[in-house]
Amino acid sequence: MQSDHQRARYLIDEALIAGITRDDDLWLRSHSAECAECANYAEITSRILRGLNALSFETGPAATARVQDALAAYAQRRHSVQPWRWGLIAAALLIAAAAPPVYRNMTDKRREAKMERADTLLMERVNARLAQTLPEAMEPLAAALGGDR
């Protein structure tokens, strides 16, 4: 994400080279009024351009165009956010948003698995206990039925 200082410097450069929108100009004026660092950057950059404009020498249109293109390309590279950075930011936000539900789901699954194991162990113990006590309890009934035949 672009900081206010980065945005201000970009807008200062654009305002001096190509111009900026009214909304950007209002924001830049407001920010520069509160931020001495950005106001100083604007003053220094403005002085440099005035000094360069004061220099006078003849160049051909092709040389002027190359210099302007080089400066524009430099400004674009300096202030642009590469697309892969947006991808990293999006991935980080996605992970941050998905982590709590995923963690909750994992802990719920673990808790359910523990409960199932506990239920299984309990049923095994009950069945084992029934297997022991049921034949003993049935002996008198089996003897009575066996003795009548």
Interval 82-108: pLDDT, tens: 666 767 788 888 888 888 887 888 888
* pTM of the predicted structure, to 2 decimals: 0.38
Between 12-16, 60-64, 66-70, 134-138, the lowest mean confidence (pLDDT) is in 134-138
pLDDT mean over 117-136:
82
Band of the pLDDT at 147, cuts 50, 70, 90? low
- For the cut 80, the answer to whether the pLDDT of residue 79 exceeds it is no
CB 28 within 8 A of CB 19: no
The answer to whether the beta carbons of residues 12 and 38 sit under 8 Å apart is yes
